[in-house]
Amino acid sequence: MIPHIPAKYRAGNPHSHSKRSNWFSFVVITLIVGGWLSITACNPEDVPLSEENVPATQLDQKEWAIALHGGAGTISPDMDEERKQLYYDGLTDALTIGQLVLEEGGTAVEAVVATVQSLENNPVFNAGRGSVFTREGKHELDAAIMDGRTMEAGALTGLTTVRNPIILARKVMESSPHIFFSGLGAEEFADQTDVERVENDYFSTDERREQFQRAQDRSSTLIEPGWQRDNDLDLNLKYGTVGAVARDREGNLAAGTSTGGMTNKQFGRVGDVPIIGGGTFANQMVAISATGWGEKIMQQVSANTIANLMEFGNHSLEDAMVIMLNERLEPGDAGFIGVDQFGNISMQMNTRGMYRASASSDGERVILIWEDE
């Protein structure tokens, strides 16, 4: 609003030059000072927090939160009740272990390691005991973990004698100047630690051996001619991973993932799990663990892309996952679990199902398998 100026100070008044100059200076100073005070008053840091001016994600902030998955893919709704119960029990046990760690004040890293270790020890999941066979009839395991607070990470591929790869991944993260070890180097690093070792056949189960035999009979590998994307058997052969993400009481985030790989995979094949930013990622904003077709997940640097959509695109965790699954990946490619800095959880997939579970300090507890549950 332009201030009213008395007639004697207006242009054309012979007596107004000096007084008009003084008045003009007064008006300018007033406008400047008034503007500065207005800006200062509107500084968000000085505005008292209330439900009207705090983002919904902050209003819903949880003390702790955890989510886990046991793999995504073509999961038949006709699964027999006994087998279905094995999956529900495995998810429940792992969730309870991680939840107790967080309830008792443990760190996000500790909760993730404990949860993934439980899944690795359960033979119904493709990680640790129960891992699938390679083309050579062996087991080669991968794992990774990332601490969102420090952005330190540890990753391994091609393990053959480490009972719980997620424990060794943590040791890489916390006691090595490096991030990623592979094959013989990963085994040599394990030799320098106290992690439990086993014979390679410890990881075998009758079910995995039958899957391996069927795969060999059909020469079912991704790089061979004749592989069909919509073949249910082939889909099941390449999907299988476990993972967990967590937010602790201090607001720190962590993500961890472990897998036995893909049935009948060829020599030296590495999937998305140990690729930091591919199948596993955590920073101070979000923690992500992926499962699905590793090659596709790696092509999109999926876990890191979800984080970038949140940080640089101002998307919520839920929306960022939707973009990744619906716009970057093809139907049937993958599933993701994530938790953000406020404890919001998202578990989404573009497959028929994903073994998944979550819990948080607000009392919510979810255990699901199929997409439409």
Cα(95)–Cα(246) distance, rounded to whole angstroms? 11
* CB neighbour burial string for 266-292, b if at least 16 within 10 angstroms, e if fewer: eeebbbbbbbbbbbbbbbeebbbbbbb
Cα(228)–Cα(222) distance, rounded to whole angstroms? 9
Question: Which member of 107, 160, 241, 263 is catalytic?
Answer: 241
Both structure tokens of 142: 């991968």
Helix, strand or coil, per DSSP, at residue 285 = coil
Q: Give the CA distances from residue 44 to residues 4, 53, 58, 315, in Å, rounded to whole numbers and listed in that order.
A: 33, 9, 15, 21
Question: Is the separation of the CB atoms in 208 and 132 below 8 Å?
Answer: yes
Alpha-carbon Rg for the chain, nearest whole angstrom, is 28
Instruction: Please provide residue 365's backbone torsions phi and psi, each rounded to the nearest 5 degrees.
Output: -145, 120
Residue labelled with tokens 């994600």: 57
Q: Which residues pair with 227 in a beta bridge?
A: none
Cα(298)–Cα(263) distance, rounded to whole angstroms? 18
Q: Which residues contact 357 (CB under 8 A, 6 or more apart)?
A: 67, 68, 91, 92, 94, 95, 365, 366, 367, 368
* CB neighbour burial string for 79-94, b if at least 16 within 10 angstroms, e if fewer: eeeeeeebbeebbeeb
Both structure tokens of 230: 């919509």
Helix, strand or coil, per DSSP, at residue 56 = helix
Catalytic status, residue 241 = yes
Question: Which residues are annotated as catalytic?
Answer: 241
